[in-house]
């Protein structure tokens, strides 16, 4: 596809805001959960909600927010938000029939993740089942002078996802939808 076609794509970026582990045990803790809709490199809209730290409501909240928009693809900044509150990419793909791309700045270490889940969660098998559904991890160089990003893809071919990532990586190796969602989530978290 030509670069002009990619510039018209409507891509949702998803990221969470920070939270303090020091406050755990002081009631139910929430973290900001942000979706930003970009058309090319322009922000069309954004939404913010909260999810429970280490809860199981991230997939449900994401689906609720995505229902308001027409979009071509979703880019998640990983699958773990607000600690180990997991978005289940196959469920999001099945609901909207749009590609879901998981972007990681560092190569995921699923052995460490499984060990952490076993240590800290009685329902670790439920949470681990999300990771078992994930596909192969692929290394993509989005900008030639930058380190790679690592991706997993649902609902699209790897070549297609790689082209989209390269077309939307403007300022750095992280695609704009995820980068902008991160900036919004972090910025809004500081003012709350």
Q: Taking the complete model, does pTM exceed 0.85, yes or no?
A: yes
> Which single residue is written with the structure tokens 């058309």?
39
Interatomic CA distance for residues 63 and 59, integer angstroms: 6
Q: How far apart are CA 31 and CA 50, in angstroms?
A: 5
Statement: residue 192 has pLDDT above 60: no
Q: Given the DSSP bridges, would you call strands 42-52 and 85-86 parallel, antiparallel or unpaired?
A: unpaired
Confidence of residue 23 (pLDDT cuts 50, 70, 90): very low
- Which residues are paired to 140 by β-bridges? 149
pLDDT confidence of residue 47 = 96
Instruction: Report pLDDT for 18.
Output: 80
Please give the average per-residue pLDDT across 159-176, as a whole number: 93
Which tens digit of pLDDT belongs to each residue from 44-82? 999 999 999 999 999 999 999 999 999 999 999 999 999
Q: How many CB atoms lie within 10 A of CB 68?
A: 11
Q: Tell me the per-residue pLDDT of 93-144, one tens digit each, with 9 for 90 and over.
A: 999 999 999 999 999 998 999 999 999 999 999 999 999 999 899 999 999 9
Domains and CATH numbers, the chain: 3-191 (3.30.2170.10)
Average pLDDT, the chain: 91
Token pair listed for 15: 């990221």
């Amino acid at each position: 596809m030509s670069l002009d076609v990619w510039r018209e794509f409507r891509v949702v970026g998803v990221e969470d805001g920070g939270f303090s582990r020091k406050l755990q045990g002081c009631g139910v803790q929430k973290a900001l959960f942000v979706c930003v809709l970009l058309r090319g490199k322009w922000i069309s809209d954004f939404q913010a909600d909260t999810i429970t730290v280490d809860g199981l409501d991230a997939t449900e909240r994401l689906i609720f927010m995505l229902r308001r928009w027409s979009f071509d693809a979703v880019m998640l900044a990983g699958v773990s938000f607000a600690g180990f509150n997991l978005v289940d990419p196959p469920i999001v793909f099945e609901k909207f029939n749009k590609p879901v791309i998981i972007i990681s700045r560092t190569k995921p270490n699923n052995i460490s993740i499984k060990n952490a889940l076993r240590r800290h969660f009685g329902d670790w098998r439920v949470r681990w089942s999300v990771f078992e559904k994930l596909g192969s991890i692929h290394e993509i160089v989005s900008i030639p002078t930058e380190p790679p990003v690592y991706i997993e893809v649902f609902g699209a071919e790897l070549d297609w996802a790689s082209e989209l990532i390269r077309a939307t990586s403007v300022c750095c190796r992280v695609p704009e939808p995820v980068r902008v969602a991160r900036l919004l989530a972090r910025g809004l978290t500081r003012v709350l």
